[in-house]
Amino acid sequence: MTLVKSALLLLLLAILGTGIFIGSGAYNPGADSPHWKITYTLMQAARERSVEHHASAIALPTNLDDPDVILKGAGQYAAMCTSCHLAPGMRDTELRPGLYPTPPNLSKDSVEPREAFWVIKHGLKMSAMPAWGMSHDDPTIWSMVAFLKKLPSMTPAQYKEMVAKAPPDDDMEPADGNGSDGHTHVHE
**How many Cα atoms are found within 13 Å in the side-chain-facing hemisphere of 119?**
23
What is the residue type of 40? Answer: Y
What is the residue type of 39? Answer: T
Under DSSP, is residue 73 helix (H, G, I), strand (E, B) or coil? Answer: helix
Q: Is 175 within the bounds of a domain?
A: no
Q: Is 76 within the bounds of a domain?
A: yes
Pick the closest to residue 170 from 72, 66, 82, 81 (CA basis).
72
Q: Is 90 within the bounds of a domain?
A: yes
To the nearest whole number, what is the mean pLDDT of the chain? Answer: 89
pLDDT tens readout for residues 109-167: 999 999 999 999 999 998 999 999 999 999 999 999 999 999 999 999 999 999 999 99
Q: Is 143 within the bounds of a domain?
A: yes
Q: Is 108 within the bounds of a domain?
A: yes
Q: How many domains does the chain have?
A: 1
Q: Is 187 within the bounds of a domain?
A: no
Plot region of 5 (φ>0 → left; ψ -120 to 50 → alpha; else → beta): alpha
User: Which CATH number characterizes residue 107's domain?
Assistant: 1.10.760.10
* 167-181: burial string, b at 16+ Cβ within 10 Å, e else: eebeebeeeeeeeeb
Q: Is 95 within the bounds of a domain?
A: yes
Q: Is 46 within the bounds of a domain?
A: no
What's the distance, Cα to Cα, between the start and end of the chain in Å? 71
pLDDT tens readout for residues 55-89: 999 999 999 999 999 999 999 999 999 999 999 99
pTM, two decimals, is 0.81
- Label residue 180 by pLDDT band (50, 70, 90): very low
Give the separation between CA 160 and CA 188, rounded to whole angstroms. 6
Domain boundaries, position 128: 64-168
